[in-house]
């Protein structure tokens, strides 16, 4: 899309779609966070995580969603923090959070990690060492004020937050990084095509909403006889605006999710060529925990894989910070679950993010050097 039409699409989108109620509160928190870490010369990464919803009604009862549980984002945020970054974690409300993710499995309640002893609640001794490690890391990050958690639910809330935070990060120049792991809707219901009230399935109660006469646009989600018909419109490609306008000096890492292995690298390459940002990380729905492909102008195509014997699925324990915390009931991988204690001590499963983040940190160092060298007078 040409720059002017991308700008037009952005301007149309933000003038039609109202900002979230907590936008100003988020901006205030982000401004203080960014300014403090900028003064200390620290790198800041904005990690986006989880799926965006597409509401079908203004008073939302029904919406379209996607599978993302926020594992990639929450896990990556922890490794960025381990590597000294300040992290703004912009996540889908109720998706996984850094650190607490180790205890939010759908098959296991956090209460299972505790027991009663003499009328007091104590952590089960089999969990104690691991939980202490997680707690120490969490407390250190909290005391240092290096993690800011913001949330969204809908695609529109996500885009407003992303735009505002990205613009606030501009003074960081190349020390800003955008790690876009959220699964973002490609289609949505524009506000002026959204019905106000719950769509009625009973034909006796069908609504006749339609706005102001001849200019009224047909509702995007409506009943037709006994059918529900949904006619969505494209969400503007915000990556273009992020690269060109909102954060032109920041390092941008986007993800490309596919289900067909034969097109993954091509699609990642296409995205890199189209937006000219730093890195596209390609991943497949079924293998995303074990392998990803980096596609960048600097290094071409590079696969990162967890070695076969270090892979595990849905490990519900916390054998140090590297136990896979996959949890989603929506997850459709066929392997069987490993229960607590089945991964031998000293041979914990490796989370692929523990391999991804050091690579990205190195790329970021090179990126900063390149931008600074360009800025130096010759
Ligand atoms: O949360 P998990 O369960 O761990 O899953 C992690 C993940 C698979 C969701 C994550 O690793 C991932 O791949 N996230 C990106 C998913 C996605 O939105 O892919 P896409 O191919 O639809 O989009 C590709 C790129 O286009 C994205 O980087 C996005 O920034 C951009 N995009 C998307 C929509 C839109 N309206 N405008 C855009 O610019």
Question: Whose alpha carbon is nearest atom 17 of ligand 1?
Answer: 183
Q: Is the CB of 222 under 6 A from ligand 1?
A: no
Distance between Cα 73 and ligand 1 center (Å): 11
Q: Is the CB of 268 under 6 A from ligand 1?
A: no
Q: What pLDDT is attached to residue 185?
A: 97
Q: What pLDDT is attached to residue 170?
A: 97
Ligand 1 atom nearest to CA at 75: 4
**CATH code assigned at 54:** 3.40.50.10300
In a domain, 222, yes or no: no
In a domain, 121, yes or no: no
3-state secondary structure of 1: coil
Q: What pLDDT is attached to residue 309?
A: 84
Smallest CA-to-CA distance from 322 within 133, 128, 146, 135 is with 133
Element (H, E) at 227: strand 227-230
Cα 208 from Cα 195, distance rounded (Å):
10
Query: What pTM did the predictor assign?
Result: 0.89
- Residue that is written with structure tokens 């790690």 in the block: 179
* Inter-residue contact 363 to 298 (CB < 8 Å): yes
Q: What pLDDT is attached to residue 202?
A: 73
Smallest CA-to-CA distance from 287 within 238, 326, 321 is with 326
Tokens of 376: 């130096």
In a domain, 226, yes or no: no
Q: What pLDDT is attached to residue 214?
A: 55
Residue count (the chain): 378
Q: What pLDDT is attached to residue 200?
A: 85
In a domain, 120, yes or no: no
Cα 90 from Cα 134, distance rounded (Å):
21
* Inter-residue contact 49 to 95 (CB < 8 Å): yes
Question: Whose alpha carbon is nearest atom 6 of ligand 1?
Answer: 72
Number of domains in the chain: 1
Q: What pLDDT is attached to residue 50?
A: 98
Q: Which residues of the chain have pLDDT under 50?
A: 211, 313-347
Q: What pLDDT is attached to residue 29?
A: 98
In a domain, 208, yes or no: no
Q: How far is CA 203 from CA 55, 187, 207, 210, in A?
A: 22, 27, 9, 17
- Residue that is written with structure tokens 């849905």 in the block: 314
Query: What single string gives the DSSP state of each residue in 291-304?
Result: EEEEEETTTEEEEE
What is the side-by-side order of every strand in the sheet holding 251-258?
A: 147-152, 86-92, 44-49, 176-180, 251-258, 279-284, 291-296, 300-305
Q: Is the CB of 71 under 6 A from ligand 1?
A: yes
Q: Is the CB of 180 under 6 A from ligand 1?
A: yes
Q: Which domain holds residue 163?
A: 3-105+140-189+232-375
Q: What pLDDT is attached to residue 218?
A: 87
pLDDT tens digits along 306-342: 998 888 644 444 333 333 334 333 443 332 222 233 3
């Amino acid at each position: 899309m040409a720059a002017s039409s991308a700008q037009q699409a952005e301007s149309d989108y933000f003038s039609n779609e109202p900002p979230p109620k907590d936008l100003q509160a988020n901006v205030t928190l982000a401004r203080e966070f960014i300014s403090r870490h900028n003064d200390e010369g620290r790198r800041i990464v904005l990690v986006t995580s989880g799926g965006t919803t597409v509401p079908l009604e203004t008073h939302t009862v029904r919406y379209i969603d996607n599978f993302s549980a926020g594992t990639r984002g929450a896990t990556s945020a922890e490794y960025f923090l381990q590597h000294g970054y300040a992290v703004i974690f912009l996540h889908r409300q109720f998706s996984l959070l850094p650190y607490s993710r180790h205890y939010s499995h759908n098959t296991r309640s956090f209460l299972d990690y505790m027991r009663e002893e003499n009328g007091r609640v104590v952590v089960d001794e089999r969990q104690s060492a691991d939980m202490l490690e997680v707690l120490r890391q969490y407390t250190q990050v909290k005391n240092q004020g290096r993690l800011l958690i913001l949330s969204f639910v809908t695609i529109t809330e996500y885009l407003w937050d992303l735009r505002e935070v990205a613009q606030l990060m501009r003074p960081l120049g190349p020390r800003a990084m955008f790690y876009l792991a959220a699964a973002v809707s490609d289609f949505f219901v524009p506000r002026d095509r959204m019905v106000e009230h719950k769509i009625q399935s009973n034909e006796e109660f069908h609504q006749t909403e339609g706005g102001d006469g001849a200019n009224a646009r047909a509702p995007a989600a409506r009943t037709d006889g006994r059918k529900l018909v949904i006619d969505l419109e494209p969400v503007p490609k915000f990556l273009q605006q992020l690269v060109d306008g909102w954060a032109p000096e920041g390092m941008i890492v986007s993800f490309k999710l596919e289900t067909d292995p034969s097109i993954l690298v091509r699609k990642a390459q296409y995205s890199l060529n189209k937006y000219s940002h730093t890195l596209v990380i390609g991943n497949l729905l079924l293998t995303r925990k074990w392998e990803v492909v980096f596609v960048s102008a600097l290094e071409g195509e590079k696969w990162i894989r967890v070695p076969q014997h270090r892979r595990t699925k849905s490990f519900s324990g916390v054998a140090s910070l590297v136990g896979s915390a996959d949890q989603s009931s929506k997850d459709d991988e066929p392997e069987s679950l490993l229960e607590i204690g089945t991964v031998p001590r000293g041979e914990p499963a490796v989370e692929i993010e523990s391999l991804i983040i050091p690579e990205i940190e190195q790329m970021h160092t090179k990126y900063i050097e390149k931008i600074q060298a360009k800025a130096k007078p010759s």
